[in-house]
Amino acid sequence: MSIPTQNVPAFGLGTFRLQGQVVIDSVSTGLELGYRVIDTAQIYENEADVGQAIAASGIPRDELFITSKIWIANFARGQLIPSMRESLSKLKTDYLDLTLIHWPSPEDQVPVAEFMGQLLEAKRLGLTRQIGISNFTVDLMKQAIAAVGAENIATNQIELHPYLQNRKVVDFATANGIQITSYMTLAYGEVLKDPVIEQIAERHQATPAQVTLAWAMQLGYAVIPSSTKRANLESNLKALQLTLNTTDMAQIAELERGHRLTSPKGIAPQWD
């Protein structure tokens, strides 16, 4: 399938919930299999492990695309950029390819304009090539655009899978030239047991995971599935070669049911 040119590469490796030797092995295996996009975050507490795996791989830095996310405790003035420098040190790199605000500031404790302004400054300083947001609603995207301009927001990384297609957020982002990165694209494995997706997979002689990842990429979203198993890491990559037809896409579109899996208490915004 042809992937449109985007700010964020279409396919990457997520590291959420993986730590220590587990994440080192996952990233090492992924890099060995051909993954070149790695997604981590300050709150995952695995940046140093990810950095170790990347360094050990010997892959030139300019062939990699590394994303990390700023945690809400580091939004206050004078804290965001030092926290980024710490992330860079752990990741053993001079710059990030993409840095995201992980969640909006709870109850607007730090205004959007304040943390987005600092993030843009980090870009000007060369600490990151691109900046973006994560878990932002339409209202929060409007505030972020007012603060730094839509052209400076590479992506909004959101929970998005066949059971939560997040169309309101997607439509607003797309209209403003902000790419969508889908996390939890497989809904913690729930969609892999879906009869509709199983049938589509059978028709294409593919796996349900490949079908779901191909569906998201065909809609123009970037995906960052994670796995600790080599076979799954290898299999997921094959989603890049899979093209679904309009019937397949229409059938998956009908699976929307507003089924949200991530909404941390005290942190999550009022969802659209």
- Residue of 154, 161, 196 lying closest to 67 (CA atoms): 154
What is each CA distance from 215 to 46, 93, 159, 197, in whole angstroms? 29, 33, 15, 10
Whether 131 and 123 have beta carbons less than 8 Å apart is answered as yes
Q: What is the DSSP letter of 57?
A: H
Residue 186 near residue 193 (C-beta atoms within 8 A)? no
Question: What is the distance, to the nearest Å, from the Cα of residue 209 to the centroid of all Cα atoms in its chain?
Answer: 17
Cα distances from 254 to residues 162, 258, 260, 272, in angstroms, run 8, 11, 16, 19
Residue 102 labeled ligand binder: yes
35, 44, 163, 183: the catalytic one is 44
Long-range contacts of 188-191 (CB under 8 A, 24+ apart): 188/261, 190/161, 190/163, 190/259, 191/161, 191/162, 191/163, 191/255
> Within the chain, how many helices (H) and strands (E) appear?
10, 8
183 is catalytic: no
Binding residue ranges for substrate = 102
User: Would you name the residues annotated as active-site residues?
Assistant: 44
Binding residue ranges = 102
